[in-house]
Homo-oligomer: A and B are copies of this chain.
């Protein structure tokens, strides 16, 4: 008995010592403004290794020099039982953004997330299509945990007994201020691995922390120009003739169309896949793609990565696949060179050589059940968990490299992504369909280096239809996904004009959008941005006290107010979309004067305004001094060398500047400097009036024939 007590005492002593003397991390400079630390034995396969990033050091060097943004002494770790426990400090009013493609919440402080590649199941719990273990703080720094594991993040929820900043003790019986969630001064993180590497990114602003993150990943992707045009995905069993007819219909309806999404029926077998053309529906695939090409249309092919025994890839992959099948298909071990070689050859021969422009890579997220189980094993020794966290990344990286090797830009869709993806040519989509949540996801995508499309499928009514089309036209990919129902943009005749108008407005805005993506690439600034990344955005709403309800709110939890229904496209355009059923909405205008995009009228500054809805237009606002370059209406993006006129809309009464980026629109030659930069300046002339002038900063491919200034604000 004595021995047992002694043993317990000993345990307690050891415990106390270990909890006091937690080791601190050794931070080394990894890149300008980016520090790195490793603990334990980090694993070989990580998120960044799977993504095969190539940091853009020169771009990182252009950001302001800063010191390590946190107190190093306040970052600690422990390794217990093959798990790494990490602790990062938090100040009292700090907010945390990122931590995956969340659909319903923006500020993640106070949440517990188990980051796990999965479909979004209706609750922001860490399971989603891009559970990126990166957070950016409102205090202007970022943290990335580079582990291909199911990481649990306690984002300001855990309270240590020995903390220097304990929450106030309150009695729930009598103290009305009692809170279900006491103040926590740390982000605590559990990485179920023997070691891990992590990164800290300096700001000093939240945007700059995000920029550093994206630039470390190689900078954001610049889609080919056609990728920013409109795309329609056709019903599953469409034949090549059906598709050519569909393209014809777009022409007849004068509706923009740049690429067609070809759904599973193109394959001789799908679920699992052969990745080979079906000879009945697509007897002449080369001719089909050539015909499309002659009409100015690219083809994007759907696939899921699971290999059918009916296809010729099967025998090449079968010794290099996982222990379990998905829909009877092999799960290729993408960490193996043999697998990559087999895929590369098969896809080149069957698709790329024929002119296929890109892929929609489906079913890499899991949707809970439709993926290999965590008990699966892989020939490389990669665990099922690591494979789950990186598979979507590896499919993106591998397929992107095929196009890169041909000096040809692609633009496609993925259902799973993770850290390191900024430079990859893929946009995430899913089956969920809440319009508001789709916009919140678009906002959250900006924190974590991924792109998201709030794709349009069927709608309940014309109002919902037009509202959804309006927002998808202000997203990374303007897509109508009609695989299951065959919907067309003109499916609701009463709003056909409104739908065409906004699609054509997107086409007009291509010069602006394209420059915005170039900014993503060269500066790391996300093209579609949370307001929280915008300087001068002062939205700091108090949480709304919760009402006690034994069923709905037994802890009387306050409702968190997030700004999650408006966002920025590039530096100058604020988008405040309407959702079906809304008669009016509030818009939070950051500091500085703001103007209506359509009229040029002043609308407010650093305030909340209420605007009435009009069915025809998506509300857009432009910053004082903002210059928006537009081209004329064209239903396809400009082809290489095609010259279009440019209109420069100027908003407000201040001077301003906008640097237009351009290049050939299809190759990676811009990496070798083959691009142009033209700076548009608005200055005050001798008469005291605004006047525009243009400086050619960098000569190069430039696709605009004439330039016309238009001063919008009277």
Give chain A's interface residues, CB within 8 Å of chain B.
Answer: 4-5, 8, 11-12, 15, 18-19, 78, 80-82, 85, 87, 110-112, 121-123, 125, 152, 154, 157-162, 166-167, 169-173, 178, 180-182, 188-190, 192, 236-237, 264-265, 267, 269-271, 278, 308-310, 319-328, 330, 336-338, 367-370, 372-381, 383, 431-433, 457-458, 481, 483-485, 548-551, 554-555
Instruction: Name A330's closest neighbour in chain B (CB-CB).
Output: B161
Indicate whether A112 sits within 8 Å of B368 (C-beta atoms), given known contacts A161-B325, A324-B158. yes
- In the bound complex, residues from chain B placing their C-beta under 8 Å from that of A11 are 379-381
* Interface contact B160-A431, CB-CB below 8 Å: no
Bound-state CA distance A157–B370 (Å) is 9
The answer to whether B159 touches A328 (Cβ under 8 A) is: yes
Do A12 and B160 form a contact, CB below 8 Å, given A182-B327, A369-B181?
no
Which of B236, B373, B485 touches A154 (beta carbons < 8 Å)? B373
| CB within 8 Å for A182 and B328 given contacts A375-B188, A457-B550, A554-B484 | yes
The residues of B that contact A555 with a CB separation of less than 8 Å are: 367, 370
Would you list 16 pairs from A and B whose C-beta atoms are within 8 A, ordered by A residue?
Answer: A8-B336, A15-B378, A15-B379, A80-B383, A121-B123, A122-B122, A123-B123, A157-B373, A162-B323, A170-B328, A173-B267, A180-B327, A431-B554, A458-B551, A484-B549, A484-B550
Contacts A112-B368, A458-B551 known; 8 new A-B pairs at CB < 8 A? A19-B323, A152-B374, A159-B324, A170-B271, A170-B328, A190-B373, A190-B375, A431-B550
In the complex, the answer to whether B458 meets A154 with C-beta atoms within 8 Å is no
User: Given the known A-B contacts A373-B188, A457-B551, A550-B431, are A81 and B158 also in contact in the complex, defined by CB atoms under 8 Å?
Assistant: no
A170 to B264, CA, bound (A): 14
Are B271 and A12 touching (Cβ within 8 A)?
Answer: no
Q: How far is the CB of A107 from chain B (nearest CB, A)?
A: 15
Contact B550 A375 (CB under 8 A): no
Nearest-Cβ distance from residue A510 to partner chain B, whole angstroms: 28
Q: Which residues of the partner chain B approach A457 to less than 8 Å between Cβ atoms?
A: 550-551
Chain B neighbourhood of A551, CB < 8 A: 431-433, 457-458
A154 vs B375: C-alpha distance when bound (angstroms): 9
Q: When the two chains form their complex, are residues B550 and A270 in contact, meaning their CB atoms are under 8 A apart?
A: no
Per DSSP, are chain A's interface residues mostly helix, strand or loop, or mixed? loop
In the bound complex, residues from chain B placing their C-beta under 8 Å from that of A372 are: 158
- Docked complex Cα distance between A380 and B370 (Å): 40
Tell me whether B373 and A169 are in contact (CB under 8 A): no
Interface contact B323-A271, CB-CB below 8 Å = no
Residue contact B375 to A483, C-beta cutoff 8 Å: no
A381 — which chain B residues lie within 8 A by C-beta? 11, 15
Taken together as a complex, chains A and B put the C-alpha atoms of A130 and B373 apart, in Å, by 23
CB–CB B265/A180 < 8 A: no
CA distance A309 to B168 in the complex (A): 12
Contacts of A484 in B (CB 8 A): 548-550, 554
Residues of B within 8 Å of A375, CB to CB, are 78, 85, 87, 152, 154, 158, 188-190
Contacting residues, chain B, for A167 (C-beta < 8 A) = 328
CB distance from A322 to the nearest CB of B (A): 8
Which B residues lie within 8 Å of A380 (CB)? 8, 11
Q: Distance (Å) between the CB of A313 and the closest chain B CB? A: 15
Q: Is the CB of A160 within 8 A of B323?
A: yes
Give the residues in chain B near A237, CB-CB below 8 Å. 173
Are A310 and B173 also in contact (CB < 8 A) when A123-B122, A375-B158 are? no
- Closest Cβ neighbor of A557 among chain B residues: B369
Known: A338-B8, A377-B15. A166 touches B328 (CB 8 A): yes
What is the CA–CA distance of A87 and B375 in the complex, to the nearest angstrom? 9
Query: What chain B residues lie within 8 Å of A374 (beta carbons)?
Result: 152, 190
CA distance A167 to B328 in the complex (A): 7
Q: How far is the CA of A481 from the CA of B159 in the complex (A)?
A: 31
A640 to chain B, nearest CB (A): 35
Q: Find out whether the CB atom of B369 lies under 8 angstroms from the CB atom of A157.
A: yes
Structural contact, A173 and B270, CB atoms closer than 8 A: yes
List the 6 closest pairs (A to B, CB-CB), nearest first: A484-B550, A172-B271, A158-B373, A433-B551, A85-B375, A171-B269
Chain B residue numbers with a CB within 8 Å of A161 are 321-325, 330
Closest Cβ neighbor of A121 among chain B residues = B123
The residue in chain B whose Cβ has the minimal distance to the Cβ of A383 is B81
Q: Which residue of B lies closest to A237 (CB)?
A: B173
A623 to nearest B CB, angstroms?
36
Whether B180 pairs with A370 at a CB distance below 8 angstroms is yes
Q: How far is the CB of A150 from chain B (nearest CB, A)?
A: 10
Contacts of A87 in B (CB 8 A): 375
CA A290 to CA B485, docked complex, whole Å: 71
**Interchain nearest-CB distance for A339 vs B (Å):** 10
Contacts of A154 in B (CB 8 A): 373, 375
By a CB distance below 8 angstroms, the chain B residues around A5 are 337
Give CA–CA (A431, B171) in the complex, Å. Answer: 21
Report the bound CA distance from A535 to B600 in whole Å.
77
